[in-house]
Amino acid sequence: MIRAKKPLLMLSGASLLLATACTDPGYVGGTNPNQKTQQGAIIGGLIGAGTGAIVSDSKGKGALLGGVLGAVGGAAIGNALDRQEAELRQQLDGDVRIVNTGDRLILTMPQDILFPVDGATVAPALRDDLFKVSQSLQAYPNTTVQVVGHTDSDGDAGYNQGLSLRRANAVADVLASGGVPYGRLRAIGRGEDQPVASNLTSEGKAQNRRVEIVILPNA
């Protein structure tokens, strides 16, 4: 039991660093422009230290080495996501919402501008944006991509499930036609199961009708 103290202390310290990186007062407004990169490094370090602790010797060397290697890998992932996010914000119009969580990018496109009512054919005006996303995915090949369709709660739940999957497949097909290998793409239909707003208002329903392109760095 005594040998476990060092890895546990390292993990506790890394957790404190993660909280500090999120609210570093040294940046104006408390916003750190490299926050996602730092979070990636710290998260990687936590994972690496935890893994290393399992196989560490009596001096805790495994936890230390695992933490260092994990931090290096996490920083690289965070840095790549930061760069890809910045490039996509420059390339895409304001209709596409981009969120960087530190371990993935989530691009949200409203279905009302992507598709005709009750249809699953991508609007010609949006194909250009999707081709730009395809180019970005090719520039950052070490990722997998989930294309997730969502609907509001109007109509039959089973029909909504099928419609969301058809729309996800339609977006994935455009990404593939832009040069992204099908092996990197996974189309998923969530139907009405994961709303982000109330389905009791027209505004909320519009937010729930969406396609999300989730970019996940490979481990």
Whether the per-residue pLDDT at 166 is higher than 60: the answer is yes
pLDDT of residue 95: 86
When mean pLDDT is compared over 14-23, 92-101, 150-159, the highest value belongs to 150-159
Sheet holding 105-110, edge to edge: 97-100, 105-110, 210-217, 143-150, 185-189
> Any idea which of 15-29, 122-136, 142-156, 192-206 has the lowest mean pLDDT?
15-29
pLDDT band with cut points at 50, 70 and 90 for residue 24 = very low
In the chain, % of residues over pLDDT 90: 62
CA distance 69 to 48: 7
pLDDT digits (tens, 9 = 90+) for 135-149: 999 999 999 999 999
pLDDT of residue 2: 47
Neighbouring C-beta atoms of residue 58, cutoff 10 Å = 8
pLDDT digits (tens, 9 = 90+) for 82-132: 999 999 999 997 889 999 999 999 999 999 999 999 999 999 989 999 999
pLDDT band with cut points at 50, 70 and 90 for residue 191 = very high
User: Of the candidates 102, 68, 70, which has an alpha carbon nearest to the alpha carbon of residue 85?
Assistant: 102
Q: 94-218 maps to which CATH number?
A: 3.30.1330.60
- Residue 95 gets which letter from DSSP? T
- Name the pTM for this structure: 0.70
User: Of the candidates 54, 73, 75, which has an alpha carbon nearest to the alpha carbon of residue 11?
Assistant: 54
Domain boundaries in the chain?
33-90, 94-218
